[in-house]
Structure 1
Amino acid sequence: MAVGASHTTVPREPGDSSGQPGRGGGGRWWPPTSPVTALALVLAALPLALLAAAARLGRHVRPSADEWCFLPVVRDQGIGGLVGKFYVTDNGRVGNGLLVGLYARFPVAGHQWYAALSALLVLAVLWALVALVLRRARQSSPRGLPLLVAATATAVFLLATPNTYKTLYWPAGSVSHTVAPVLACSAVLPALAAGTRRGRAAALAAAAVAGVFTGTLSEETSVVALVVLGGLLLFGRRLVTDRAWPFLRTWALIGAAGVVVGTAVLVTSPGSRHRRERFGAGTASVVAPDSLAASARGFAGIAESVLTTWQYAGVLAAGLLLGLLVRPSRTGTAVLRPCRPLPLACAGLLAVLVSGYLCTVITYPVFGPRVVTAARTWNDYLLLYVLVLAGLGALLGRALRRRAARSWTAVAVATAAALCAVSAAGLAPPLHRLGQDMGVRAGRWDRQDASLRAAAARGAEVAPYTPTPVAGMLEPFRDGGRRAWPARCVAEYYRLDAVTRSTRVP
């Protein structure tokens, strides 16, 4: 987006305290009832309705897989006990253990509320990010347009995945691969909002804390963060003004140093060593030529899956509307240099490709060929992909606004609006089908839960358990009873000595 100059006032959006409410860019008035504002709000209502429906379906979530093992630890030893277990035994992710402990502290209710709270977090971070980037680029937009971009990006990020359950509804997986990149992204907000010396100091402190926490939360998100921060250090001087460059350079260096420190805590932990030994995922296996080549083939398969998921076009369309409808403003301090679209677009796409491949490299020794189907591990870099798509759309809209005739601009606005609506509509049927499956599983799980609790209350030491899987989640006695994990954890959860395989739900 170019840094323009026109007598305008910026509309109020999250994170923007400047300007008078109600004025848009380019000297045009954007009253709350203007057609453009109405269009933005109507379009935003579609992904928001999807997210509200997805949040409501969270009432059907019940513990499964790893969570069977987390819940007894938190019940008996508290959150600190789970953090210690992660560090010493499981994987070294102490930040992960803290977040898991926070929802596991409220066993079933924590699982049921997780989807609503995490979706709200993603929406709030992306909404604030769009508004603050517009402010720093000295651009003003109609009311509701930043919300439209953020809501569309949030809905696509959470619901366009091949396995929405593991992305949004499975807290253990979501904490590691869905919430982790969002929390890392949130560290950008204080830097964008900083306008005073105290604000910049707070932004640097936030970058350090967020970096260390990210390093102890998710190896894949740490890789993405280091790629993005490294890109800012290499090319940031071409992005921001000379006055803003020293702060950006210091912020990126501190953030990268924090990620390195947190990652060092993780990889040197006993839990991380145990995990690498368990999967045979040592340093040599990660950088072995065969592993690197297999990772490249795996990432190509992932890229094909993502690029053929047409709902992502809705994010591009929302960005296109943003580029078409924003206008330059004199309000605020110039931070970004005049836009050079092609280098900026290439840098964004390169960051996605590099971070995506590196994430595949470090996960391949654990998952092997299944890395192509372990869709939850893609989310660490898919958030960056979604943001880059929105940016590409904005750059394209900016080019059309400057070069195309007004009639063609109107056609572009109508086309982008239709694509936003169709994209949101395309996400609804899979969500509905998943909700039905979750509802069935919740009913069976509740009946079995009551039966197991009653058996424990009678003093039984062993009770039957019937697997109740949903969306490919692991349950005890899968594969015809050949794989018992996590049956021992289920027994501990119900204070039994053991559970045996059953084929009939009580």
Structure 2
Amino acid sequence: MAVGASHMTVPREPGDPSGQHGRGRGGRWRLPSPATATAGASLLAALPLALLATAAWLGRHVRPSADEWCFLPVVRDQGIGGMIGKFYVTDNGRVGNGLLVGLYARFPVAGHQWYAALSALFVLAVLWALVVLVLRRARQSVPHGFATLVAAMATAVFLLATPNTYKTLYWPAGSVSHTVAPALACAAVLPALAAGTRRGRVAALAVAAAAGAFTGTLSEETSVVALVVLGGLLLFGRRLVTDRVWPFLRTWALTGAAGIAVGTAVLMTSPGSLRRRERFGAETTSILAPDSLLASARGFARITETVLTTWEYGGVLAAGVLLGLLVRPARTGTGPAVLRPCRPLPLACAGVLAVLVSGYLCTVVTYPVFGPRVVTAARTWNDYLLLYVLVLTGLGALLGRALRGRGARPWAVVTAAAAAAGLYSASVVGLGLPLHHLGQDMAVRAGQWDRQDRALRAAAARGAEVAPYTPTPVAGMLEPFRSGGRIPWPARCVAEYYGLERITRSTRVP
């Protein structure tokens, strides 16, 4: 099955020198030697990998904040089951979210510190496996290291190019819903791509059903994106894959969509979801009301402008170009064909349309809760930004494949490769500078938080019922007594975490 593999379906032209090296007769472009290509790929891949390692290392400065103040006492006193129950009955109905929150909150501060490293590693592994399996199903091969080159840049851009990296990567409560959720949905595709036997296809269907149901209880926005993609496969999949593969692709897409429907039904009928809609006034606001649809369109237009003017996303386009310049038909172990020959332009348009449709629908879903703030709630964009990153990679691959097509001049291809490598490297630098500044802010906050933590624990140990608390915000995270002390939330949760009756506002960190 070739879900997601369509961007690699440009057929090899007659006389295409893809499998040869050096310069041939007539000045045609020939691939560099495997050793040279692998060395170059390893060097470039090391840049985003180093950036991701740095981001993971900075995770040691993460400390609880915002909603997590309320999660920690529940998990401490009632366990993970209590957290799931709280989400289902009281908070929002997202039982899958409650499970993931409970897993990291089970290890209070340490769980927050390790979260960034583990989630980044998970996203990287999923994207690497996706690149490898898509190339295999497309019966294409690249020199060693290129799958890592693409996956590392895609992961770095996805996690670090957003307006608020802290809420995307370092804030576990937001990340499990909007960063890990789309990666989990992407991981559900892998068994389908790997399935080569009847047993493998049955397992892929089971994974699709389970992953769909879990996604439905984890993130409404990721569910919307998945349904858009699955719907596109049902509408156009027959033009992408051979008749032999189409029945499985159709069944797989329907199974995944059914799983999402079941999970979403569990979420939407939960007491927690009803309470949340009432709390935000969304119960009386129809997402299909003309005013809401128009406001969502304006908000999505502003989000699109922000994303398109974030030049660091060019790094994944560059990675795709490099992939397209060096991809070649595989010579052995390809198996039966699963893809039909397709034209690049319709594939590119389909990918762009999927991003636009899913992005707008996600904005429609979130607008009743966030209102105009949907434009600044950047963490909610991540549900469709992962799809955007994948589509950009595919567009780059199509562009690179066209640049090295029949009759390409060696100097033109070399220039394109050098330009792509330069943009790739510049994107890493562009992502690294804001990360450095964020790391400094996180380190300052960690020191303040630790001192205050010791003071509050000491006060509780002395039998005090009331203790002072100084807000220590970072990256726009919510803390007690914000807005000059007018908004106390989550002061009650902080007091419960430390075993106090209440906390009072202070302006001086101990």
For the aligned pair, the TM-score class normalised by the smaller chain equals over 0.9
2:334 to 316, 332, 351: 332
Query: What corresponds to 1:442 in structure 2?
Result: 446
- What is the TM-score with the length of structure 2 in the denominator? 0.94
Matched, 1:420 2:415: no
Give the Cα separation in 2 of the matches to 1:309 and 1:282: 35
1:410 to 386, 411, 414: 414
Matched, 1:341 2:334: no
How far is 1:453 from its partner? 0.2
SS at 2:334's partner residue? coil
The answer (yes or no) to whether the contact 2:470–2:505 under 8 Å persists in 1 is yes
Amino acid at match of 1:380: D
Query: What corresponds to 1:488 in structure 2?
Result: 492
SS at 2:503's partner residue? strand
Give the Cα separation in 2 of the matches to 1:277 and 1:286: 14
Matched, 1:230 2:192: no
Query: What corresponds to 1:461 in structure 2?
Result: 465
Summarize the Cα distance change of 1:471–1:188 in structure 2 as closer, same or farther, 3 Å threshold: same
Amino acid at match of 1:26: G
Query: What corresponds to 1:9 in structure 2?
Result: none
Over the matched positions of the two proteins, sequence identity in percent amounts to 81
Q: Structure 2: any 5+ residue segments left out of the alignment?
A: 1-7, 23-30
Map 1:147-296 → 2, pairs under 5 A? 147-282=148-283, 284-296=285-297
Query: What corresponds to 1:26 in structure 2?
Result: 19
The answer (yes or no) to whether the contact 1:25–1:329 under 8 Å persists in 2 is no
Residues 119-156 of structure 1: CA deviation (Å, up to 9, x unaligned): 00000000000010000000010110111000000000
Amino acid at match of 2:419: T
Query: What corresponds to 1:123 in structure 2?
Result: 124
How far is 1:339 from its partner? 2.9
SS at 1:286's partner residue? coil
Matched, 1:398 2:391: no
The answer (yes or no) to whether the contact 2:72–2:497 under 8 Å persists in 1 is yes
The answer (yes or no) to whether the contact 2:481–2:491 under 8 Å persists in 1 is yes
Give the Cα separation in 2 of the matches to 1:25 and 1:431: 39
Give the Cα separation in 1 of the matches to 2:183 and 2:61: 24
Give the Cα separation in 2 of the matches to 1:324 and 1:283: 53
Give the Cα separation in 2 of the matches to 1:460 and 1:479: 27
Give the Cα separation in 1 of the matches to 2:84 and 2:294: 35
Residues 209-250 of structure 1: CA deviation (Å, up to 9, x unaligned): 000000000000000000000000000111111111111000
How far is 1:159 from its partner? 0.4
Give the Cα separation in 1 of the matches to 2:504 and 2:33: 62
The answer (yes or no) to whether the contact 2:285–2:368 under 8 Å persists in 1 is no
Give the Cα separation in 1 of the matches to 2:262 and 2:274: 17
Query: What corresponds to 1:60 in structure 2?
Result: 61
Query: What corresponds to 2:4 in structure 1?
Result: none
The answer (yes or no) to whether the contact 2:325–2:397 under 8 Å persists in 1 is yes
1:363 to 352, 362, 366: 366
The answer (yes or no) to whether the contact 2:70–2:494 under 8 Å persists in 1 is yes
SS at 1:402's partner residue? coil
Query: What corresponds to 1:11 in structure 2?
Result: none
How far is 1:4 from its partner? 5.3
How far is 1:32 from its partner? 9.6
The answer (yes or no) to whether the contact 2:21–2:33 under 8 Å persists in 1 is no
Give the Cα separation in 2 of the matches to 1:28 and 1:39: 15
SS at 2:179's partner residue? helix
The answer (yes or no) to whether the contact 1:241–1:335 under 8 Å persists in 2 is yes
Amino acid at match of 1:56: W
SS at 2:504's partner residue? strand
RMSD of aligned C-alpha atoms?
1.6
Amino acid at match of 1:84: G
The answer (yes or no) to whether the contact 1:177–1:377 under 8 Å persists in 2 is yes
Give the Cα separation in 2 of the matches to 1:46 and 1:231: 35
Summarize the Cα distance change of 1:441–1:32 in structure 2 as closer, same or farther, 3 Å threshold: farther
Amino acid at match of 2:388: Y
How far is 1:441 from its partner? 0.1
Q: Count the aligned residue pairs.
A: 489
Give the Cα separation in 2 of the matches to 1:249 and 1:97: 32
Give the Cα separation in 1 of the matches to 2:32 and 2:9: 24
Give the Cα separation in 1 of the matches to 2:108 and 2:18: 49
Query: What corresponds to 2:480 in structure 1?
Result: 476
How far is 1:3 from its partner? 6.3
